[in-house]
Amino acid sequence: MLAVLAGGALAVALLQPSSPAAGDDPLPYQDPTLPTAQRVSDLLGRMTLAEKIGQMTQAERIDVDADPSLITTNALGSVLSGGGSVPASNTPEAWADMVDRYQRAALDTRLGIPLIYGVDSVHGHGNLLGATVFPHNIGLGATRDPKLVEKIGHITAEETRASGPQWAFAPCVCVARDDRWGRTYESYGETPRLVKSMETSIDGLQGKPGQLDHADRVLATAKHFAGDGLTSYDESAAGTGAYPIDQGIDRVTRKEFDKLALSPYVPAIKKHHVGSVMPSFSSTDFNGGSTADAVKMHGNKQLITGWLKNQQKFKGFVITDWRGIRQLPGDYRAQVKAAVLAGIDMYMEPIQAPNNPTGWDEFIPTLTDLVGDGEVPMARIDDAVSRILKAKFDLGLFEHPLTDRTHIGDIGSKAHRAVARRAVAESQVLLRNKQRTLPLKAKDTVYVAGSNADNIGNQAGGWTLTWQGGSTNVVPGQTILDGIEKAAKGDVVYSVDASKRVPRKAVGVVVVGETPYAEGFGDVGGPQWAYDPGDAGQPRQKQTMELSKADKQAVRTVCARTVSCTVLVVSGRPMIIPPALLTQTDALVASWLPGSEGGGVADVLYGRSPFIGKLPVTWPRTVAQEPINVGDKQYNPLYRYGFGLSTR
């Protein structure tokens, strides 16, 4: 049995002969002229069990930042930045320096196997201050523009890799079927056909086969495998502090699961050649039994090994979600065993999690014991490590392990932000346009109000600077108010609560909607909470899909006192528009979560670009209608899936 301890107290047991000294001929795995399969085989044959298990292990940057030698002594294969986990100076250069510091520690290992560094670049490299922040996926689904989505993926890859990370935990290819789910905005839409059409994002991230080693490409991750968008809403959990829908159970037939959950992974693997897959926190229950009968995806051998790897011939590797194996039944040893035998290859096991004192430092000795005791076969370890090494060779990390900073000056560039602005304009969905209220005339006096008119934190949503995002988070860019002020030729009067006097003959624009959230806490009926100091310690609002009292009042006030009244809904999902409020509204626009370029909203308001967006999800009349999706037998939404007026 091999011992591994955190903190460098005992180095990894390295039992194979030393690697060649300086000046010796390169070993086969070090020869870039050889086929990748040959290099993988050669390197695998030189590795100890400790080195192999190290490759299967991923730590969080906070775990190793004070002592990067932990990477060396434990032969760690990967490090990630969770949401909001950034260097002290959140700049591209500081990111690149940080990743390179960890990489040098990995290169100090006996075999010099480089790290792969992962980050949630889900709508641009959102952790990095100054990166281009694109609309979230629900807005991109509204564009119906696969080529634009591919371009966005490419820019995201370029900005991510130029700052160090070579791996994006994106895209989410879930089919969101219940808007009460707090991750709805991570989905491109409610139909598999729409989601599949947007998987061009994988091509943008990875490039064509053979381009992964380019300085503007990263490894992509299709997530969350599978069925995270199909979980049933748990009414009993609402208001209890639990998550009513996130990480829940898919109570569907296998036929429905194949269509709505598995089908998007077929083109992701066979057409787009995605390099990694991340299992979902959710569970499956095809038999309609009790909760105890549900199978957690992190332990689902039938789907991970059987369907994904064997049936679909997936050649990449499977990475857990954040401490995902710890939701499996049994003690930690049983959890590790179940996950490894299910077919998971790499383990995201951060130590720095609230009330969880152990992570990868517990995973390594646990798996080591399981192999030593014969409960996990070496063939399963070799398969996992081979897949991980292949990705590292394909990324060119053995030849160029340190950050290629060629494109670092392009991060957040004018050209990149122009693409984001175009995406914002194309994502806007015009739902109501009474008497051709829109486009507005530039010469008109405009009165702007509402909670989301001048708040770039709300506009960017979750996964921006921090995990859950924040109303007080600020990224470079334009708010919607900024965009209106630049587009308008007449006077612009702004009052967040509509308390200022409305000028005579002014047209009104009221920007309402949600405050930021991400998984779990974004569930309707989920907990109210205070997470990060970015919101000044104020409790975050419970999510309801209902407009706030202040926003409703702002709409009523402005619509009663202006010549025309346009309401923009900035949100990660449809919001409920009361009939009386809708009657007062002349124009209604679904603006989604546009990101950093609020000028794109102004572009369609003022006719610089036409409204062309179509609803990627059904817009309900009431929350009680959820889940509501196109094709339902009883289908009476406020606005149907695919609806969208045009001003083209």
Tell me which residues are annotated as active site. 321, 519
Q: Which residues contact 136 (CB under 8 A, 6 or more apart)?
A: 122, 123, 185, 186, 461, 463, 572, 592, 593, 595
Contact 383, 93 (CB under 8 A): no
Alpha-carbon gap, residue 248 to 635, rounded angstroms? 25
CB-CB neighbours of 253 under 10 Å: 12
User: And the tokens for 67?
Assistant: 């002592």
Q: Which two tokens mark 149?
A: 């989505």
SS3 content of the chain, % helix, strand, coil (to 5): 35, 10, 50
User: Are 169 and 535 a contacting pair, CB within 8 Å?
Assistant: no
CA 146 to chain centroid: 18
State the DSSP string of 301-329. Answer: HIIIIIIIIIIS---SEEB--TTGGGGSS
Q: In what order do the strands lie in the sheet with 57-60?
A: 167-168, 116-119, 78-81, 57-60, 347-348
Reading the block at residue 520, the tokens are 């779990």
- DSSP assignment letter at 23: T
CB 461 within 8 Å of CB 468: no
Integer-rounded Cα radius of gyration of the chain: 25
Cα separation, 529 vs 355, in Å, equals: 17
Helical spans, DSSP H, in 463-548: 480-487
Count of helix runs (H) and strand runs (E) in the chain = 21, 17
Q: At what angle do helices 332-342 and 360-372 cross, to 10 degrees?
A: 70
Beta bridge partners of 117: 79
What residues does 512 pair with on adjacent strands? 569
Q: Are 109 and 75 a contacting pair, CB within 8 Å? A: yes
- Give the residue among 229, 286, 157, 148 at the shortest CA–CA distance from 609: 148
Please name every residue paired with 513 in a beta bridge, in sequence order, or none if there are none: 570
Long-range contacts of 31-36 (CB under 8 A, 24+ apart): 32/398, 32/399, 36/390, 36/393, 36/394
Q: If phi over 0 gives left and psi between -120 and 50 gives alpha, with beta otherwise, what is residue 288?
A: left
* Cα–Cα distance measured from residue 518 to residue 255, given in angstroms and rounded to the nearest whole number: 30
Which residue shows structure tokens 């709505």? 260
* Rounded Cα gap, residues 54 and 568, in angstroms: 50
Per the CB < 8 A criterion, the answer to whether 206 and 274 are in contact is yes
Alpha-carbon separation of residue 80 from 65, 166, 467, 486 (angstroms): 11, 10, 13, 39
Cα 486 from chain centroid (whole Å): 31
Contact 232, 175 (CB under 8 A): no
- Count the neighbouring beta carbons within 10 Å of the beta carbon of residue 621: 17
* SS3 label, residue 221: strand
Let me know: does 387 contact 317? Beta carbons within 8 Å: yes
